[in-house]
Amino acid sequence: MGKLTYENAIKIDFDDRTLAHLQLVIGSKLRRGEPLHFTWRDDVSIGGGRTSIWIHPQSMLVYKFYGSRKPQLNPAWIDALAYTANSSTGLYLVPEPAMPGVEAATEPPSD
């Protein structure tokens, strides 16, 4: 489980794989000087609802990964997240699509 810290005030847990994808998409936007909203659903344990932050090139962000290995990135998920980041609603998590070139597991044909 990783952690994203925004402005030393807001801390949100994401699994390392999700956090790695978010870091890439947010970093790409910020390198181009493009601010964005990032919205996520809050866990029921902290009251539910959702939180939205305004991320700009001067934002202080810390990505803390607890695993020692860098997760494998899925280009299709990066594209899907970047699409939301470039929309008027801003970045939000979408389900991870299948990895390109990886067939979905299917039952073997029966004889």
Q: Cβ atoms within 10 A of the Cβ of 20, count?
A: 20
Q: Where are the domains of the chain?
A: 2-92
Task: Report the C-alpha gap between 72 and 91 in whole angstroms.
Answer: 21
Coil, strand or helix at 46: helix
Tens digits of per-residue pLDDT, 11-48?
Answer: 999 999 999 999 999 999 999 999 999 999 988 888 88
Mean pLDDT across the chain: 90
Task: Report the C-alpha gap between 82 and 90 in whole angstroms.
Answer: 9
Tokens describing residue 55: 């991320």
Tokens describing residue 98: 């299948």
Tens digits of per-residue pLDDT, 72-109?
Answer: 999 999 999 999 999 999 999 999 999 877 655 444 44
Nearest to 39 by CA among 22, 24, 16: 22
